[in-house]
Amino acid sequence: MPAVPSAAWGSARTLLSPTTARGVAVEAAWITAHLAMYPLGLVEEQLRLQQERHSIEGLPPAQRGLLVGDVEAAGTPIVLVHGIFDNRSIFTLLRRGLHRRGFGSTYALNYSALTDDIRAVAGRLGTLIDQVCEETGHERVHVIGHSLGGLIGRYLVQRLGGDERVHTLVTLGSPHSGTLPARIVPLETARQMRIDSDIIAELAEPAPGCRTRFVAFWSDIDQLVIPRSHARVEHPDLRARNVLVQGVGHLSLPVDGRVVREIAATLALLDEPEHPQPPSP
């Protein structure tokens, strides 16, 4: 009987582990819940000035602590960008979690994967960020992108000068080095996520002096980013931190408690700590 390679045994153990089983169950439950919320996210969000509260009276402890610790961090606007077959409703629970932790200003960009491409949406994202900065009086924002949304944010930062406005780019399951499943989706946006696409090649080009801080969350059971390590940011010119979250499916990344806590902890510090800690289980 031929020997089974150790890599194969490792993959089998991952697939059969209790952590993976829980992750699959959570993914299935979240997909069901998200389908119910999806129609609500089709309505384009109106940009409006969100009033920031700098009084700590009556605030929950998490919000009070963030405001006391760093008013600027608490007030920095957050712009959310969804993935290829989604809309802003994917961020419903993440927005709620961030608000409970003291972040009051969140905005979302909707786009259509049927008619748009990465370059065009990145340009629209830049316009929205300029509007948010003008409305709020802040010079910079944070961007959180799920799946394709992370590539859109990264293209803005690296190729369109968006690093002047984007302090931190957080990506959740974004195929920074491309993904194999993109080959079976007959859309331009999917073609741009292929491993050998011109977009992926552009993002691999030098980016000297890029000011944006990157945090890339990736999962060991992501079913849409393959190879899964391609959700990491690997670029010599970028200030990037890659965070492995085990047992979390692709669509569950924006709702996983560990991910929400780590995002909040990261955005609460406008300066990166010298020795960042991994997310707690």
pLDDT, one tens digit per residue, over 28-59 is 665 666 666 656 555 556 555 444 444 334 44
Question: According to the model, what pLDDT value does residue 171 have?
Answer: 98
pLDDT at 160 over 60: yes
Question: According to the model, what pLDDT value does residue 114 have?
Answer: 86
In angstroms, the CA 226 to CA 220 distance is 10
Asked if residue 276 has a cis previous peptide bond (ω within 30° of 0), the answer is no
* Percent of the chain whose predicted confidence (pLDDT) is above 70: 72
Task: Indicate the length of the chain as a whole number.
Answer: 281
What crossing angle do the helices spanning 6-16 and 18-37 adopt, rounded to 10°? 50
Which fold, 16-42+63-267? Rossmann fold (3.40.50)
Question: According to the model, what pLDDT value does residue 65 have?
Answer: 46
* Percent of the chain whose predicted confidence (pLDDT) is above 90: 63
- Tell me the sheet residues that pair with 169: 143, 214
Which pLDDT tens digit goes with each residue over 101-110?
Answer: 888 799 999 9
73: tokens are 């961090």
Question: According to the model, what pLDDT value does residue 104 have?
Answer: 79
In angstroms, the CA 216 to CA 145 distance is 10
Q: Which DSSP helix (H) or strand (E) runs through 37?
A: helix 18-37
Give the pTM. Answer: 0.81
| 3-state class percentages of the chain: helix first, strand second, coil last, to nearest 5 | 45, 10, 40
Residue spans of alpha helices (H) in 86-226:
92-100, 118-136, 148-159, 188-191, 198-203
Break the chain into its structural domains and give their ranges. 16-42+63-267
In angstroms, the CA 122 to CA 155 distance is 6
Question: According to the model, what pLDDT value does residue 192 have?
Answer: 97
